[in-house]
A and B are shown apart, each in its own frame.
Chain A
Amino acid sequence: PADTRDTAQAPVRRAPAPVTDVARLCVCDLLVAQCDVNCCCDPDCSAQDFSLFTTCSVPVVTGDSQLCSQKAAVYSLDVEANPPERIFKLIDQVNPSIFCIHATNYEQALYLKSPEIPTPENFDQLLDKFGGATFSAEPDSWNLDTDAQNPPDANETSRYEYGVPVQTEDAFLRLPSPVVSSWCSDTNPAGFLVNQATKCIRSVSVEKCDSIQALSMLFYINSSILASVFQVNITVQSIVVQSLNGMRTLLSSSDVLRLPMLLDELCINAVLGVNYHITHTDTGEIIEAAAAFVLGAISKEALSIEQSFEISFTQEKAQPVPLSGNPGYVVGLPVRAGFQPQGYPFPAAFPFAALALSSNKHSQLTILHSTSTQDCLAAQGARAPVLFGCNMISGCKLRITAATKCQPLAQTLLEVLKGQSFPEYVASFGNSQAQDVLDWVPITQLHISEQMISHTLQSSCQIPVSLGIEVKWTKYGSLVNPQARIVNVTATITATTLKQLPSGRERIIPVTSSVVFTDISSPAEPSYKAWPTIDIKLPFDFFYPFV
């Protein structure tokens, strides 16, 4: 049976034999069945074509010049004759050197090797040798080098740089996203420190519920992330189940892996959203990874579902506070503010405690937000965050009658102007951390009274009618990339005397609050390097005999 199989095989194809006859070799013959211009060795050219040539682009065709004696084909144009004609001569070229090659017993010495034709027998061996990204003529000598190179490579995956795809066991951490169309593509790698949020549509069918990989939780937490010498497993942080009408419930236990299954013509436990949270150190090593899932049910009629994915990176031991710039403030981002924790004793020599910051809106610097009713007392605490670089003004109208009491009104107006919790400190840079207390600028509060006559201060009470926040900022850093830095914040409350009104009369007082950003940066000065000084010191005992 073996013999018949061999004979039944088609004859092995061989590569065409290399042409070594110099008379038939023509390097400039590029066009098939057409005459190449100025190519004197082209067999497709006729005598009429030769008469139009100006020179021969290939004058000599020889073999290896190291041989002692070899044939050479010499092509030249005889321009004297009319019409010009091509002259072809076959001569023997002699190499006069004593080290010329007289003979070789090695066929491939002076020619390129014909490649091996793959056959079923040698295919595996050829694949091993040439299947990789690189191969060398002598594969054995490379083994030692690659072993030595491996340990440094292991260190390279530990540190990630911005934008580098996060590597996992099999390939990369995938964040499905729409590419070109809205359909999900699973080959989008997540870049380190690149916070992304994507939404895409995936085609599903309830019958193939448990076989579609992208609907199962396992697909997203299966492979572990490669980081330094160990691997970081992706843990399940929380599972939220979304019902068909859109109501979401947070499951109490997120340990159980819920896989999609078919139940009553519904596909339950299908992944509708994944939110990755990756924690890293400040040197770029990933130490923790968690995924929060939103699982839902797919009904029979649904042909596609929308999945949303998000990934966010937080540094360990740091609160996830959204930055307003890195490092300088970016125009349009909110000014960050905070408080000193109360009850902390601070003697003069002791450094300040870390500021209490939270990511909710109440610790930002906020300004009164004008409402449609324009009534200060009905404002109900609507506030707008102060955005860096945006001067704002807002206000409301206060209706005063004879019956209004001054003191509670003053308190209410102060609250309306300043808000529930007016911060004490403002971050000088957009990325100031709460623990660097010196990076924070205290808010200076001024009270100005419109009437500075002493006797009226005591008798009548003052109500605040305007709050002006002036933020002084400067350009900091290099001339080509200046960063905005807040230097000084002053909150000025202007109060006016409330005059008692006769009964039945009412007055409307405008209450305003404004934020002004002033650039106090000094003009840039070029600085020159100091002249080098020669610093010579004589040795201690230089003048020995005399001193």
Chain B
Amino acid sequence: NNSPQLSSLPLQILLYVNGIYYIFYFLATLAMIIYKSQVFSYPDDLLAPDLAVLFLMAILEVPRLYLGFKGNLTEAEAPLGLSLGLTVGSVLLCVYLLLWQTYVLWADVLLSALLLSAYGLESGLKVMAITAFVS
């Protein structure tokens, strides 16, 4: 049976690395929000949305990565498409943390930019994988 392997290896590697990097991103951003609330004037009604966005992003990340793994390994386009949709949501939340947080530190900019580039690359690879699975 000479059926070529349709699962994308780069996508798999990227998803794996993304998962690990996201844990680091989450902890670092949370620590920096705590630091900002102590050092700067951070009223409660501005702190709440920032924390909500961060936790929402963490909640979205789990199904997103799971569907990505599953879709890629089973060469099914439906979970992969769903994962792509969730990625769009994650991208929007990441853009919020990059641009519209109350205080955007230089470290925030670096981490978010890195995460956004990972998301972008991942989306590209997912689209390519879906076209490979469909055809």
Q: Which residues of A contact B (CB under 8 A)?
A: 66, 68, 97-106, 108-109
Contact = CB atoms under 8 A, between A and B. Distances in A.
Nearest to B39: A66
6 contacts: A102-B105, A103-B99, A105-B102, A106-B103, A108-B41, A109-B41
A66 B46 CA distance: 20
Interface string B74-115: 000000000000000000000000011111111111100000
A53 to B, nearest CB: 37
Given A106-B46, A108-B41, A109-B40, A99 B107 contact: yes
Nearest to A99: B105
A70 to B, nearest CB: 13
A104 B109 contact: no
Contacts of B99: 103
A100 B105 contact: yes
Given A106-B46, A108-B41, A109-B40, A101 B102 contact: no
| The 10 residue pairs across chains A and B that have the minimum distance between CB atoms | A103-B104, A102-B104, A106-B102, A98-B107, A102-B106, A99-B105, A100-B106, A102-B109, A104-B103, A98-B106
Contacts of B108: 102
B25 to A, nearest CB: 15
A103 B99 CA distance: 8
A109 B103 CA distance: 9
B105 A105 contact: no
Residue among B103, B104, B110 with the most chain A CB within 10 A? Answer: B103
A104 B102 CA distance: 5
Interface string B97-135: 001111111111110000000000000000000000000
B13 to A, nearest CB: 28
A142 to B, nearest CB: 15
Contacts of B106: 68, 97-100, 102
Q: How large is the interface on B (under 10, 10 to 19, 20 to 34, 35 or more residues)?
A: 10 to 19
Residue among A68, A98, A103, A106 with the most chain B CB within 10 A? Answer: A103
Nearest to B44: A138
B107 to A, nearest CB: 5
A100 to B, nearest CB: 5
A66 B106 CA distance: 11
Contacts of A109: 40-41, 102-103
Contact of B101 (A66, A68, A105): A105
Contact of A105 (B35, B100, B110): B100
B35 A104 contact: no
Contacts of B102: 104-106, 109
B64 to A, nearest CB: 27
B41 A101 contact: no
A114 B127 CA distance: 52
Given A102-B106, A104-B104, A109-B102, 18 more contacts: A66-B40, A97-B106, A98-B106, A98-B107, A98-B110, A99-B32, A99-B35, A101-B40, A102-B104, A102-B108, A102-B109, A104-B103, A105-B101, A105-B103, A105-B104, A106-B46, A106-B103, A109-B103
B97 to A, nearest CB: 11
A373 B107 CA distance: 111
A101 B35 contact: no
Contact of A101 (B100, B105, B110): B105
A66 B101 CA distance: 16
A109 B42 CA distance: 8
Contacts of A98: 105-107, 110
Nearest to B32: A99
A108 B102 CA distance: 11
B24 to A, nearest CB: 15
B19 to A, nearest CB: 25
A207 B118 CA distance: 95
Contacts of A104: 102-104
A297 to B, nearest CB: 69
Nearest to A69: B106
Contacts of A102: 104-106, 108-109
A268 to B, nearest CB: 67
A66 B103 CA distance: 11
Contacts of A106: 46, 102-103
A335 B131 CA distance: 119
Contacts of B103: 101, 103-106, 109
